[in-house]
Amino acid sequence: MILGCSGLTLTEDEIAFFRDERPWAFILFARNVSEPQQIRDLAASLRDCAGRPDALVFIDQEGGRVQRLRPPLAPNYPPGAALGALYQSDRAAGLRATWLLSRLHAFDLKRYGITADCLPVLDVPVEGAHDVIGNRAYGKDPDTVAALGRAAAEGLLAGGVLPVIKHIPGHGRAFADSHHALPRVDTPIGELRGHDFAPFKALSDIGMAMTAHVIYSAIDANNPATTSAKMIADVIRGEIGFDGLLMSDDLSMKALSGDFAARAAASLAAGCDVVLHCNGVMDEMRAVASMVPPLSGKALDRADKAMLPLSNDDHADEAALRTEFAGLFEAVA
């Protein structure tokens, strides 16, 4: 499991719980960050509790409205749609700016001990869809999204930060925000293949992916992708061909039903390798942990393989890359 924590430092209860349960990884949110040394100390404390110096620490650092580190911790960056707009006018510049932005994210994150970024967003919005994705997307066609998603993933990997493709098999057609309700997509599977699934298939070699809490009735009319064995086996592992580490989206989102033990159990039974719980609420984390077995077998193999690029370092000149990025695309003030 991947767990969050409640504040800027770990409580005694969190330390005891994490040391007992040994989560595979952790995730930070805005409530967990204040100044550079605090973030480094928190990341180190989490790893100490897990008993593994290489335990991953995740964050959502996309740019635009989904960016947990803000000035002065990191610059404000443009959203995916702005990179997509540049790509439409100058493909080479758009690809380079997208790679550069992710490479700059890697600089920003690694200096604080953060080693995985829930990026790139490979969702392809359709007209009228809920704005939960909106300008986080690189474009409204799968080719643009796949091309810029690849550039974003490679920029992170060049700096030794692990990317997570999300939200597999696609959240762009959802007419509800899965943080608050369960979206249902009734689109025929042929249309999903050519549009929603395509960027994920193009990036199926990336080491980690996060599921969508969305029902796709053409595949499973009753269960969202996160808890659908049919979706995971037939589409995510089958048609899309993703064989990396599959994590659930946040179990505390209101798209899912049942108590937290049931949500965790259903996600793992459906085929997720690890479950994600973000809000740091101890009672909920205890319930999740009660249903989560030790990482083993194929899931452990995928986890180990996903972590291999942590050793990457292209030794890039940060100042030069920031200057180049500003020349291509000024970071928003």
pLDDT in tens, 245-298: 999 999 988 768 789 999 999 999 999 999 999 999 999 999 999 999 999 999
Is it true that the peptide bond before 169 is cis, omega within 30 degrees of 0? yes
- Choice among 179, 180, 205, 259 that is catalytic: 179
Q: Where are the domains of the chain?
A: 66-328
Q: What is the pTM of this model?
A: 0.95
Q: Does 180 participate in catalysis according to the annotation?
A: no
Rounded to the nearest 5 degrees, what angle is found at the Cα of 137, between the Cα atoms of 134 and 138? 140
Read off the pLDDT of residues 59-112 as tens digits, 9 standing for 90 and up: 999 999 999 999 999 999 999 999 999 999 999 999 999 999 999 999 999 999
Cβ–Cβ < 8 Å for 131, 173? no
The average confidence (pLDDT) of the chain is: 94
Residues present in the chain in total: 333
Report pLDDT for 333: 36
Residue 332 has pLDDT above 60, yes or no: no
Report pLDDT for 246: 98
- Choice among 249, 250, 273, 277 that is catalytic: 249
Q: Does 105 participate in catalysis according to the annotation?
A: no
Residue 149 has pLDDT above 80, yes or no: yes
| CA 291, chain centre distance (Å) | 23
Task: To the nearest 10°, report the CA torsion of 8, 10, 13, 15.
Answer: 160
Stretch among 129-133, 178-182, 221-225 having the lowest mean pLDDT: 178-182
Q: Which residues, at least 6 apart from 132, have a Cβ–Cβ distance to it below 8 Å? A: 171, 174, 177, 178, 179
b/e map 273-303, b = 16+ CB within 10 Å: bbbbbbbbeeebbebbbebbeebeeebeebb
Q: What φ, ψ does residue 69 adopt, rounded to 5°?
A: -95, 120
Helices (H) and strands (E) in the chain, counts: 12, 13
Report pLDDT for 11: 98
| CATH code for the domain defined by 66-328 | 3.20.20.300
Can you tell me the mean pLDDT for 162-168? 97
Q: What φ, ψ does residue 152 adopt, rounded to 5°?
A: -65, -45
pLDDT interval class at 1 (50, 70, 90): very high
R_g over Cα of the chain: 19
Distance CA(27)–CA(11), nearest Å, equals 16
Distance CA(214)–CA(171), nearest Å, equals 7
